[in-house]
Amino acid sequence: MQLPLDSTKHQGQRQQMVALLKEKGIVDPAVIGAMESVPRHWFMDPGLVSHAYKNKAYPIAAEQTISHPYTVAFQSQLINVGPGAKVLEIGTGSGYQTAVLKAMGLTIYTIERQRELFKKTQRLFEQIGLRPKKYILGDGYLGLPDDGPFDAILVTAGAPSLPKDLLRQLKIGGRLVIPIGTDPQIMHRFTRTGEKGFDKEQFGEFRFVPMLKDKN
């Protein structure tokens, strides 16, 4: 299957986007390299392609959005893992965050709860040859306990409270990056320090669509 177009114009716009991300504090070379290499416009509706490299969120399907490039880069930097790390993504959405994590050399397990969006993104993954280790339709609150433990878990929707099941699926030293709250949310990072011990850090306000239970 032929890949979608990634023109020199798109690549130039991507370089400008990455320059902005660096100005805003993105320094991880793996994150920068991934943001430079992944064509964000592939993951957007055709009518919005001309806006793909603006630092804004846009609607995709099923009342969901593709996050700001800065948010994608910031969360990718916060998980702080190396190549080959085992990462669970909660909320596949458009697949853009998934593609960035794959471009960082990570092993990705990803869950989407919206059937319409799951199927749309599955078709795109097939078209561009993006193959997560596992991609399922399911309830992100439950995680994937049979596939854990994970080096990192990254949540791309705003949880009203901390899902304890996800904490239990971290390796010792593993990190959960999750926005918690209503509107706005506070970005949190929980690092597992022992069987029952976790360190908590906060990283300011962000806005995400709500994290919903079950699958639809």
Q: What is the assigned CATH class of domain 8-206?
A: alpha beta
161 flagged as catalytic: no
How many Cα neighbours within 13 Å face the side chain of 101? 33
pLDDT at 214: 67
* Residue pair 200/188 in contact by the 8 Å Cβ criterion: yes
Q: How many residues does the chain have?
A: 216
Catalytic residue among 7, 37, 67, 94: 67
What are the pLDDT tens digits along the chain (216 aa)? 567 889 999 999 999 999 999 999 999 999 999 999 999 999 998 888 889 999 998 988 777 889 999 999 999 999 999 999 999 999 999 999 999 999 999 999 999 999 999 999 999 999 999 999 999 999 999 999 999 999 999 999 999 999 999 999 999 999 999 999 988 999 999 999 999 999 999 999 999 988 987 666
Which tokens in the block code for residue 54? 């603006």
pLDDT at 213: 77
pLDDT at 4: 81
pLDDT at 206: 94
Rg of the chain in Å (alpha carbons): 16
Which tokens in the block code for residue 92? 């596949």
Q: Give the separation between CA 37 and CA 103, rounded to whole angstroms.
A: 8
**b/e sequence 171-196, b meaning 16+ C-beta within 10 Å:** eeebbbbbbbbeeebebbbbbbeeee
Q: What's the farthest any 2 CA atoms get from each other in the chain?
A: 50
Q: What are the residue boundaries of the structural domains of the chain, listed by start?
A: 8-206
Please report where in the chains the tokens 């995680």 appear, as a residue.
143
* Residue pair 124/99 in contact by the 8 Å Cβ criterion: no
